[in-house]
């Protein structure tokens, strides 16, 4: 069973027959969290770094923002039995899609990734794998049965070092 997560949305699941996928990760971030012991996971597709930018919109659509969306994702998988100590977190996106990089005045992709890393650090969590930056859009998926995360249908690489975005 395939479930599609749209922009500013998320899905958590314990259904081992489910694959959760999101498309068109440009400057947006796709974030997965998975507990292999509980076989619980989720995927979040965020657009912007901080809910403080528009608190009313953040109340209605918390998954639009890295800070409020990550909180929703983690609370959702914890409610299904995930444990913080077991989490495997992956991230993709944060690209500069503009034809001319010097046109990327707001640097949304870079700001999204910076906010994400700060939140993980504050919460004592680590990134297990990432595919961020660059100039291409990505499709990200997580298979709940075993936590396999793919980017454009290829397994995401384990994090050996941070790629500069």
pLDDT band at 57 (very low <50, low <70, confident <90, very high): confident
- What percent of the chain has pLDDT above 90? 73
Domains and CATH numbers, the chain: 2-155 (3.30.1330.200)
The mean per-residue pLDDT over the stretch 59-80 comes to 95
pLDDT, position 96: 84
pLDDT band at 116 (very low <50, low <70, confident <90, very high): very high
How far is the C-alpha of 34 from the C-alpha of 25, rounded, in Å? 20
The residue to which tokens 């770094």 are assigned? 49
Q: Which two tokens stand for residue 58?
A: 């953040």
The Cβ of residue 49 has, within 10 Å, a number of other Cβ atoms equal to 22
């Amino acid at each position: 069973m395939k479930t599609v997560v749209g922009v500013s949305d998320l899905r958590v699941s314990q259904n081992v027959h489910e694959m959760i996928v999101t498309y068109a990760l440009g400057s947006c971030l796709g974030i997965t969290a998975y507990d292999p012991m509980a076989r619980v996971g989720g995927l979040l597709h965020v657009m912007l770094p901080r809910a403080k930018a528009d608190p009313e919109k953040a109340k209605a659509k918390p998954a639009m923002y890295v800070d409020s969306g990550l909180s929703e994702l983690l609370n959702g998988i914890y409610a299904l039995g995930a444990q913080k100590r077991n989490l495997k977190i992956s991230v993709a996106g944060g690209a500069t899609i503009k034809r001319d990089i010097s046109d990327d005045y707001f640097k949304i992709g870079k700001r999204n990734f910076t906010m994400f890393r700060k939140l993980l650090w504050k919460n004592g969590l680590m990134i297990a794998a990432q595919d961020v930056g660059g100039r291409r859009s990505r499709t990200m998926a997580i298979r709940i049965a075993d936590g396999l995360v793919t980017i454009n249908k290829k397994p995401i690489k384990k994090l050996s070092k941070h790629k500069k975005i």
